Each structure stands twice: as structure tokens, then as C-alpha cells.
């Protein structure tokens, strides 16, 4: 009997990626703490930027967008993994699984797009400082960001369209959440063809975004030669934050054997907001003022 004829009516998936974890509660608690820190840090960034009109500038709007992406990205799968580890809830409905797969892919795609547009922003700001605000207005930044979200959502729709119509022969996921690879391995067809298609798309996506970021920094480094030492220091402080975030996103992909999908989801989402909070002067000063007010209130009362 062929696998096609052995297909089952699937209503739920069983998440089996944590079967070999020896201390699930400990791992779950660590993931929960990291997840809460990542979401809280991103929310702080968003609240500070939205509430302060002085921060309504292209660079800060892009930082705010990155914070939204981080929450969207890390919330796509992390709660499911935490639920499996801490509560033992290792099932997820078929529809919820497909939604999770789609949201995760959109978040991963937007993470790359966001860092790419931020590299372009820094390139324009450093090479054309006087024309920067005429080139990158708030309206243009918002429109371009919305276009990237639409492109990412449309781009990832391919995975949902290819996975949904296929018959399923298994209900057990080998991974820790509903990734495209995990869902495709439960189908009754040979997934290699689909894996190759997605791998090609993912490769070109990562290649072009990473290449664009590298070219942006090449242009910046070339321009550095004509800057004064003081200007170089100011420029360096604005670029270090972005470089740290880029490294946290792309390094797990280059050393995927060492850093698995745990690091790929939680790593960038935790590091990005803390890096931009601590290394962006305006946000850091606003945080210090708020903490001083809270401390003064507690002392006086």
C-alpha cells in the first residue's frame, strides 16, 4: 500500500522534539526567562520611541520596527516550546501549527529585511549627512517598512501554499515547534523536492540581504578615510549596535551545528533591544531619567 493511500485525517500534531531533553523543567524555565526579557526589552524600546516625539526620526522608527519584529518572531514558536517543557502540553492543532509555521517564517524574513534597511539607513546618514533627512523622511521610512512587511508576508506564503494541500501520514513532529521542515516530514510525499525549493529561496534571501549589508559597510568604511577622528568615534558608536545584531542573526546560520534553532529564535530577539537600548544615547538617557524618578518616588514615599 502506498503512502498516499495510508494518509490520515490529521487534526493535531504531536511535538516530539523535546523527547531527549533530560531536564525539561530547567530548560523551560531558562527559555521562559529569556523570552520574557526579550519581549520586555522590545516593549520598552517601542514605548520610549512612540511616546517621545524627539525620537520620531527615521533611525528610531527603524529601531521600533525591529523591536516589533523581534516580538513577532520570538512569540511565533517560543510559547509553544515553553508549554511543552513546563506544562507537558505536547500537542498543537493542525490549523495552529500552520499559523505558527507561517508567522515564524515571516518573522525570520522580516528580521533580515529590518537589519538590511537599517544598514542602508546608516549608509545614507554617514555618506550624505546634510541630505539625510530629505532623502529618508519619516513618511518614506514608514512606507518602505510597510512594503517590506507586505513583501515578507507574500514571500513566505509559498511555504503555506505548498504544505497545506499535501496528505499526511504521520502526526508526530521531529522538531520542537511547527517549522516548515517538521511539517513536511509528516506528509506522505517525498519532501526533498520541497526542501530544495525552500532552501534555494532561503539561500538567496540570506545571501542578498547579507551581501547588501556587507556592501553598505564597505561603502561606509571607504568614506571613513576622509572623516576626522571625532567623527569616526561618533560613527563607530552608531554602527557597533547594528553589527552586533547582524552577527547574532547570521552567525547561528553559519554555525548551525553549534547554535541550533533555540539560538536562532531567542538570540537576536533578546540581544537586539538590549543593544539598541544601551548603545542609543537618547533612549539610554530617557531610561536613566525614568529610573531616577521611580527611585526618587520610592525614597520619598
Per-residue model confidence as pLDDT tens digits over 59-75? 889 888 988 998 998 89
**Residue 257: predicted pLDDT:** 38
Give me the DSSP letters along 241-255.
HHHHHHHHHHHHHHT
β-bridge partners, 92: 13
**Residue 150: predicted pLDDT:** 94
pLDDT per residue over 240-296, tens digit each? Answer: 666 777 766 666 655 553 444 444 555 555 566 655 555 556 666 666 666 566 556
181 SS3 class: helix
Main-chain phi, psi angles of 58, to 5 degrees? -50, -45
**Residue 263: predicted pLDDT:** 47
**Residue 260: predicted pLDDT:** 45
> Is the whole-model pTM more than 0.95?
no
- Strands 12-15 and 172-173, by their bridges, are parallel
Give me the DSSP letters along 192-234.
HHHHHHHHHHHHHHHHHHHHHHHHHHHHHHHHHTTS-HHHHHH
pLDDT per residue over 180-236, tens digit each? Answer: 888 888 888 888 878 777 777 877 888 888 888 888 877 777 776 655 566 556 566
CB within 8 A of 52, min separation 6: which ones?
Answer: 282, 286
Determine which of 5-9, 74-78, 170-174, 270-274 has the lowest per-residue pLDDT on average. 270-274
Which architecture characterizes domain 12-190 according to CATH?
Up-down Bundle (1.20)
187 SS3 class: strand
Amino acid at each position: 500500500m502506498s503512502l498516499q493511500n495510508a494518509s490520515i485525517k490529521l487534526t493535531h500534531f504531536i511535538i516530539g522534539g523535546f523527547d531527549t531533553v533530560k531536564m525539561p523543567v530547567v530548560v523551560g524555565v531558562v527559555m521562559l526567562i529569556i523570552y520574557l526579557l526579550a519581549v520586555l526589552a522590545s516593549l520598552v524600546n517601542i514605548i520610549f520611541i512612540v511616546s517621545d516625539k524627539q525620537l520620531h526620526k527615521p533611525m528610531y522608527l527603524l529601531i521600533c520596527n525591529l523591536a516589533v519584529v523581534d516580538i513577532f518572531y520570538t512569540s511565533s514558536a517560543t510559547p509553544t516550546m515553553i508549554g511543552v517543557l513546563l506544562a507537558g502540553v505536547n500537542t498543537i492543532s493542525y490549523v495552529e501549527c500552520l499559523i505558527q509555521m507561517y508567522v515564524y517564517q515571516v518573522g525570520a524574513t522580516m528580521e533580515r529585511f529590518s537589519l538590511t534597511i537599517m544598514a542602508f539607513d546608516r549608509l545614507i546618514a554617514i555618506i550624505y549627512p546634510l541630505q539625510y533627512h530629505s532623502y529618508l523622511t519619516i513618511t518614506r521610512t514608514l512606507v518602505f517598512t510597510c512594503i517590506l512587511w507586505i513583501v515578507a508576508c507574500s514571500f513566505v506564503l509559498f511555504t503555506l501554499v505548498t504544505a497545506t494541500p499535501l496528505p499526511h501520514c504521520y502526526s508526530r513532529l521531529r522538531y520542537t515547534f511547527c517549522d516548515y521542515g517538521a511539517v513536511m516530514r509528516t506528509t506522505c510525499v517525498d519532501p526533498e523536492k520541497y526542501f530544495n525549493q525552500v532552501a534555494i529561496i532561503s539561500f538567496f534571501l540570506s545571501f542578498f540581504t547579507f551581501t547588501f549589508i556587507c556592501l553598505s559597510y564597505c561603502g561606509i568604511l571607504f568614506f571613513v578615510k576622509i572623516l576626522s577622528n571625532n567623527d569616526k568615534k561618533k560613527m563607530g558608536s552608531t554602527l557597533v549596535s547594528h553589527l552586533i545584531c547582524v552577527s547574532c542573526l547570521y552567525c547561528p546560520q553559519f554555525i548551525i551545528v553549534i547554535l541550533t534553532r533555540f539560538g536562532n529564535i531567542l538570540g537576536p530577539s533578546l540581544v537586539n533591544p538590549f543593544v539598541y537600548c544601551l548603545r542609543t544615547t537618547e533612549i539610554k538617557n530617557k531610561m536613566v531619567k525614568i529610573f531616577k524618578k521611580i527611585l526618587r518616588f520610592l525614597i520619598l514615599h
